Every structure is written in structure tokens, then in C-alpha cells.
Amino acid sequence: MQKWVQIAGIAPLLILSACGSNSASNTHSADKAKTSVSEQHEPQGQNNFVKVKTYTFKDDGTIPNNPYFQVLVYPGAFKGRTGQIVNTFKKNNWGNNWVDGVFPFHHFHSTSHEVLGVISGHATLMIGGEKGKKLKVSAGDVLVLPAGTGHKRLSASSDFSIAGGYPNGQDYDTQTKETPTFKKNISKVGKPKQDPVYGNRGPLLTIWKKK
């Protein structure tokens, strides 16, 4: 999918996805500033869900993150069956799908939540902005990023590829710096009706609370 995207402060870019590609190399010096990140686990129940990790990030003045919903990580949700990722997202009404990489700069989407499923390889991502958290992801892992959540690729294997999707297949924007308008957009993005991995019985539906 090709699309011209206007990113604040950057000339329009022709991109293949919301999150970019792996073609550009990137180096990163560790941010030693303290950050407020909570981490908890959703226990496995009778539905045999994977243990979902949750993270909460604060607005840092550049990356707004999301004041209502947590970042969700489903470790190994598609381990050994990554070929099913895109079709599962579609079946659970997380459409407008693409397969590509992740931009090597901090960015966020103000108009939609985003699900990312690692199809191959591995990568280290920075989630939540400069004061956020480094997350290592590999084939089979899934991340759900609520609207406004910063994300950036720090490093990746040569075979790294990731699939994306959006609730109801809606369109999205790509931004690099918060504004009052973008924060207002984020406040309007409500809770999806289905979990991208487990459909109408998934952990997202119980972890994310309605505003």
C-alpha cells in the first residue's frame, strides 16, 4: 500500500505503511532519565490466552502517549504460525493491513489505535518516546499501541518484518510532535469492539476500560 503522509516538520513522504521500513540503519544512545512505566500481567484463564504485559506511558511534551489505554504486548501469540497474523487481524476487524517495518524515528498515530504482529526476524523497539521503554520483539509477538503511543525502531535483523492493522480498517495519520489538535484526536479514539488476536473474548476487552 502506497500513501503520501505529511509528518509534522518533515516533507511529505511516500511510505508503504504506517510504521516504515528497515532499510535505514539506526544508532541510539541509551536514555538514562528515569521514566514512569507500569508493568503487569493478565493471568491466563480458561481461554488459554497468552500472558499479556501492559505498559503505561506519560505525555512527555513531544509524544502524547495515551491517557486512557495501556500498551499491550502478547508474547509469542503467533509463535510457529506467523503466516496467520494478517488473516487473524482481518477476521477480528483490525484491517487496512500492511507488512513492512518500523520507522527509525519516534512517531505516533493520533486518529487510530494500531496492532503490530512480528512476522519474521527480531527487533528492539522504543515505545513511549525518549523516556519510554525498550522492548525486544521477535517472530510471533504482538503489540497493541493505543492512539498517541510513541514508537521507533532502534535495531532490527535483516529479515525483520511486521504486520499492522487498525480497528474497523480505519485510516491513520503519522505524527512526530504533539499539538492540542492531535491530543484532542487521541481523546476521541474509543475502545475497539474486538481484540485483534482473540476477537470478541480477548484480554484487550477486559484490560482496556471505557472512558
Q: Give tens-digit pLDDT for 72-87.
A: 999 999 999 999 999 9
For residue 211, what pLDDT is reported? 56
pLDDT tens digits, one per residue of 7-50: 344 334 334 456 876 654 333 333 323 344 444 444 333 468 99
Distance separating alpha carbons of residues 164 and 199, to the nearest angstrom? 16
Q: According to the model, what pLDDT value does residue 48 have?
A: 84
Reply yes or no on whether the pLDDT at 126 is more than 50.
yes
What share of the chain has pLDDT > 70, as a percent? 78
Give residue-wise pLDDT tens across range 150-183.
999 999 999 999 999 999 999 999 999 999 999 9
**∠ CA(157), CA(158), CA(161), 5° rounding?**
80
Helix (H, G, I), strand (E, B) or coil at 148: coil
108-146: burial string, b at 16+ Cβ within 10 Å, e else: bbbbbbbbbbbbebebebbbbbbbbeebebebbbbbbbb
Tens digits of residue pLDDT in 186-196: 999 999 999 99
The answer to whether 51 touches 41, Cβ cutoff 8 Å, is yes
Superfamily of domain 18-23+37-43+50-207: Jelly Rolls (2.60.120.10)
Q: Under a CB-based contact definition with an 8 Å cutoff, are residues 157 and 121 in contact? A: yes
What whole-number distance in Å separates Cα of residue 93 and Cα of residue 202?
13
For the chain, the C-alpha Rg in angstroms (whole number) is: 16
pLDDT at residue number 18: 66
**Confidence (pLDDT) at 19:** 81
Q: Which residue has the higher pLDDT, 6 or 125?
A: 125
Pairing between strand 122-127 and 38-42? unpaired
pTM, two decimal places: 0.82
Residue 59 has pLDDT above 60, yes or no: yes
Give the C-alpha separation, 63 to 177, whole Å: 6
> Looking at 57-131, which runs of residues are DSSP E strands?
71-74, 94-100, 114-120, 122-127
Q: What is the pLDDT of the chain when averaged over all its residues?
A: 85
pLDDT of residue 115: 98
CA distances from 152 to 43, 96, 103, 112 (A): 28, 21, 6, 17
Going through the chain in order, the beta strands assigned E by DSSP cover: 3-7, 10-15, 38-42, 52-56, 71-74, 94-100, 114-120, 122-127, 133-138, 142-145, 151-156, 161-167
Is 111 in contact with 149 (CB distance < 8 Å)?
Answer: no
Integer Cα distance of 156 and 175 in angstroms: 22
